[in-house]
Amino acid sequence: MVEAEIIKLEKKMVVRKVESRDLEQIIALQKLCFPDLEPWRIEQLQSHLDVFPDGQICAEYDGAIIGSSSSLILNYDEYYNKNNWDEITDKGYITNHNPEGDNLYGIEVMVHPDFRDMKIGQRLYDARKALAERLNLRSILIGTKIPNYVKYAEEMTPAKYVQEVMAQNIYDPNLTFQLNNGFVIKQIVKKYATADKSVPEYSTITEWNNIEYQHVAKHLYKTAFPVRICVIQYMMKKIDSFEEFIQQCEYYIDVAHNYKSDFVVFPEIFTAQLLSFLEMETPSLSAKKLATFTEPYVAAMLSFAVKYNVNIIGGSHYAEENGKVYNIAYLFRRDGTYEKQYKIHVTPNEKHLWQISSGDELKVFSTDCGKIAILICYDIDFPELARLVTDRGANIIFTPFNTDERQGYMRVRYCAQARAVENQVYTVIAGTVGNLTHVEHLDIQYAQSAIFTPSDFSFPRDGIMAECTPNIEMVIVGDVDLELLKRTRKSGTVTQLKSRRTDLYAIKEMT
């Protein structure tokens, strides 16, 4: 055989970090390896890459993903008495990953059935060990089912079964493999992964100790993670130009900067103030006029975010895309990047008068102050949305709103407070006040903007961090503590997120 023909037969094996382009293949691999389990969702795997990319490893052979492993870092002592897969992985999103932790925790390893004689699992375990050594982690921990115990459950206890496997009198595909890789039994747990009904409810926690580990003094807990929020209760009044509008925006952003804010929050469709110097037509045509300002509005806000070193929740703005007009909230990060959240539920008034189209994608955004979400006005009325973004790691939900009278405002306020309580998150509402006498259907405004907290002893008595005086132009500034939120979710007077009866009900995203 000539050399060229030999080269054509070569197939390259690579163990590398997972990339976004691999996610569909990983989901297909999981369906093949674990047909009885609900597979990963794209947003969960993407969260792994966003939170801890180094811990996501795959084996690629001839261009195809034939094995993968997922990990996060934590302090296992925090989970010892609450040891289940959902708790340890934050329901599969690993947003509880702690870079200051001591333990690398493996949450999944899988190998394509057709390639299990190529030591793919061994390669993935070796890659994990190398990662633990490089990051100077004390150990690697893995929780795993012991599938062959079902054959012996009537004649021996789980502890006896584990002893027999350790003595090599019984073979267990999971536990035997781990013992052969230098892991030792740390704990036997019950109901570790309740979603897997195909094997007994008992699992083992095994540990591999990094003999090269060097102790370095660390703070295992942060005492606080304050995030400062500046909310703008914006006055809608007649202006004469786009430049005047931008000048007003910059004034408030400068105020937020002076108070060293991490976020400054504008209200829903506050850009409608631009209609006060334009010739008024039907609402739908006016919305299209507003959309013509999208590019200069985005450019100005993005430059302000960088100039004043503050993340801007840019209220919302009517923007036209592919012939449709959407109500879009913009996140302008202080690093010069931006993202969009489309309003998902448009009100009857928006739909029929302004001809606004509904968005179809719910997003959670990563920022330098953790994960946040934006639910525009009417969207906060739907508890499913807030629960979904909370499950995906959001700690703050921003709600820009625009209401014309008190009843509409109270709907927004009551729902935002309810979302803060039931999801143990912070919610922020920012509204417009004043009058636009030249703009039909947007002529009056009512608001009392506020920052809301969960309801527990660690937070303000009424669950209100700060609130504006109703119906006057002003700002409020308040600090929310993400570390306090984390502690309260684990050990508060009530723990709504942990206490949910997922055996009876659940909210699932449509795919």
Catalytic residue list contains 33: no
Reduce the DSSP state of residue 476 to 3 states and report it: strand
42-51 helix and 23-33 helix, angle to the nearest 10 degrees: 120
Q: Which residues pair with 400 in a beta bridge?
A: 430
Are the beta carbons of 266 and 251 closer than 8 angstroms?
no
CA distance 175 to 180: 9
Q: What is the DSSP letter of 64?
A: E
* Region label for 480, one of left (φ > 0), alpha (ψ between -120 and 50) or beta (otherwise): beta
Catalytically annotated residue among 33, 230, 377, 415:
377
Pull the structure tokens for residue 302: 């993005």
Catalytically annotated residue among 60, 108, 145, 343:
343
CA distance 378 to 62: 50
Pull the structure tokens for residue 370: 């953790």
CA distance 193 to 251: 53
Strand-pair category, 356-357 with 139-145: unpaired
Catalytic residue list contains 468: no
Catalytically annotated residue among 108, 268, 350, 467:
268
Q: What is the DSSP letter of 435?
A: B
Give which of 54, 1, 53, 58 is closest to 24, Cα–Cα: 58
Mind telling me the catalytic residues? 268, 343, 377
